[in-house]
Structure 1
C-alpha cells in the first residue's frame, strides 16, 4: 500500500512529494477499506504543493482532493456499500494513495457501469462550471458567456454544460492549436487572447450583449474579459493561473458598471444545503453516464510514479487531465 506524501512545500512541486509505503489499517466499527480507481491532479493540487493555494493543509499531508474508489472490505457492522461498489471519495482526504479506510456512511455510491476515470473528476471542476453558470446571472437560452482558460478542466466542462443549457460561449485560449479541439467539444467561438480581444469578440458574436464573464487567469487577462462584457455585466474570477492579482480598468467598473465577484467551491459547500448538493451532483452524474459530459484525459500514472505525474501536471501544453491510479 502506498500514499503520496509531502512534508514540505517548494517551488518545484514534484520535488516535495514521494510515494511512501504504509501497512493495512485495522478496520473499526462502521469502516470500509477502499482501493483507488482514479484521482485527478488539479491546478489547485499543484499550487498546494508549492504553497501558493489559498488554503493549505497541515504538514505532513497526502496529495489529492477528489476521486473514486471501490469497496474491497467491510469492517464490523457494515453491510453497505457492497463489496465492489464504486464510491465517491470525500473531498480533501488526500486521495493520491492506493487504499483508504473511510467511514461507510461518508461514502456516496456511484454507478458501476460509468467510466471511473470520468467519475473521478466530478467533485470539483464540473460543479464549479455548473454553479458559475447559474449562481451569478439569470441566463436564458441563447445568451452568451465568455471565459478564458477555456481549455482547462473547468473550461471544458463549462463549454459542454453551456451547450446543454442552450447557451453560447466565447472561449479564450493562449495558442492556436487549442482552437479546433474546443470547437469539436461544442464551443461556439474560440479566440486566441490578445490586446484587441474586445474588438474580435464583438465581431465574432455580431455585437451580442455578453452578461457573464468567467476568469481563471488574473492579471491583465481579467481586464480584457471585463472589456468584452455588456453594460452591467458580471465577471466571476475563480483562479489566478498567471500568479498575479486581477487587473480591471476603472472604466469597466465605473462607466460600464461591470461587477467583479469571486467563486470558491469550498465556500459554496459550506453554505449549500444537502438537497442543493445532491441536486447538482445528481445532474452531473446522469450527464456523465449518458456520455454528454466528459473531460479529455492526457495520461494516467500509478501512485508509485507520483513524481512523474505531478511533473506532467505542472507543465503546460497538455491536452487533457493527468490522473493518478492505484
Structure 2
C-alpha cells in the first residue's frame, strides 16, 4: 500500500511530496477499507503544498482532498456500504493513496457503472459551480452570467450547469489557445481578457449586462469583469490565480453599486445541513452518471509518479484536470 506524503511545505509544490509505503490498517468497529480509484489534483491542493491555502493540515500529511473508491473490506458492525460499492471519499481524508480507511456512516454511495475519474472530481468543483450560480443572485432563464478563468475546472462545470438551467454565459480566458476548448463545453460567448472587455461583452450580448460575475483571477481582472455588470450587480470571487489582491475601481464599487462577495466551499460545507449537502451531491452525481456533466482530464498519473503529477498540475497552459489513479493496472 502506498500514500503520497509530505513532511514540509515550500515554494516548489512537488519538492516535498513522495510516495511512501504503509502497512494494511486494522479496521475498528464501524470502519471500512476503501481502494482508491481516482483522485484529482486541484489548485487548492497545490496551494496546500506551498502553504498558501486558507486551511492547512498538520504535518506530516497525505495529499488529496477528494476522490472516489471501492469498498474492499468491512469492519465489525458494518452492513453498508457493501463490499464492491463505489463511494465518495470523505473530504480531506488524504485521497492520494492506494487505500484509505473511513467510517461507514460518513460515506456517500455512488453509481458503480459511472466513470470513476469523473466521479472523483465531484466534491469540489461541481458544487462550487452549482452554488456560485444559486447562492448570490436569483437568476431566471435567459439571464447572462459572466466568469473569468472559464477554462478552469469550475469554469467548465459552470458553463454546463448554466446551460442546463437555461442561463447564458460570457466566458473570459487569458489566452487565445484556450478559446476552442471552452467553446466545446457549450459556452455562449468566449472572449480573451483585455482592457476593452466591457465593450466586447456588450457587443456579444446585444447590450444586455449580466447581474452576476464570477471571478477566480483577482488583480486588475476583477475590475474588468466588474465593469461588465449592470448597476447593482454582484461579483463573487472564489480564487486568486493571479496571486494578486482583487482590484475594483470606485466607478464600479460606488457609482454602479457593485457588491463584491467571497465564496469558499470549505466554509459552506461547515455551515450547510446534511440535507443541503445531499441535495447538491445528489444533483451532481446524477448528472455525471447520466453523462450530462463532465470535466476534461489532461493526464493521469500513478502514485509512484506523484512528483510529476503535482508539477503538471501546478504548470500553466493545461487543458483539463490532472488525476492520480493509485491502483491503475
TM-score normalised by the shorter chain: which range applies?
over 0.9
Whole-Å separation in 1 of the counterparts to 2:209 and 2:201: 11
Cα distance in 2 for residues equivalent to 1:108 and 1:184:
31
Q: Deviations over 1:14-70 (max 9, x none)?
A: 101111111001111111111110000000000110111111111111110000000
Structure 2 Cα separation of the partners of residues 133 and 227 of structure 1: 19
Q: For 1:134 and 1:80, how far apart are their aligned partners in 2? A: 33
Partner of 2:246: helix, strand, or coil? coil
TM-score normalised according to structure 2 size: 0.98
Match of 1:151 in 2: 151
The corresponding residue for 1:32 is: 32
Paired position in structure 1 for 2:295? 295
Q: Please identify runs of 4+ aligned residues in structure 1 that moved more than 3 A.
A: none
By how many angstroms is 1:78 displaced? 1.6
Per-residue deviation, residues 164-185 of structure 1 (Å, max 9, x unmatched):
0000000000111211221121
How many residues matched?
Answer: 326
Matched residue, 1:170: 170
Which residue number corresponds to residue 141 of structure 1? 141
**Cα distance, 1:79 vs structure 2:** 2.0
For the aligned residue pairs, the C-alpha RMSD in angstroms reads 0.7
TM-score, normalised on structure 1?
Answer: 0.99
| Counterparts of 1:188 and 1:313, CA distance in 2 | 27
Q: Deviations over 1:169-224 (max 9, x none)?
A: 00000111211221121100000011111111111111102100000000000000
Secondary structure of 1:100 counterpart: strand
Q: Which whole-Å deviations, capped at 9, do the CAs of 1:78-128 have from their partners, x for residues lacking one?
A: 221111110000001111000111111111110101110100000010000
Q: Shift in Å at residue 229 of structure 1? A: 0.4
| CA distance in 1 between partners of 2:263 and 2:285 (Å) | 22
1:252-282 CA distances to partner (integer Å, 9 max, x unpaired)? 0110000000001111112211111111111
Q: CA separation in 2, counterparts of 1:264 and 1:113?
A: 31
Which residue does the alignment assign to 1:249? 249
Structure 2 CA distance for aligned equivalents of residues 55 and 75 of structure 1: 31
Equivalence for 2:259: 259
Q: Tell me which residue corresponds to 1:180.
A: 180
Give, in angstroms, the shift of residue 74 of structure 1: 1.2
Residue of structure 2 in register with 1:239 after alignment: 239
CA distance in 2, matches of 1:261, 1:302: 38
Structure 1 Cα separation of the partners of residues 284 and 28 of structure 2: 33
Q: Where do 5+ consecutive residues of structure 1 fail to align?
A: none
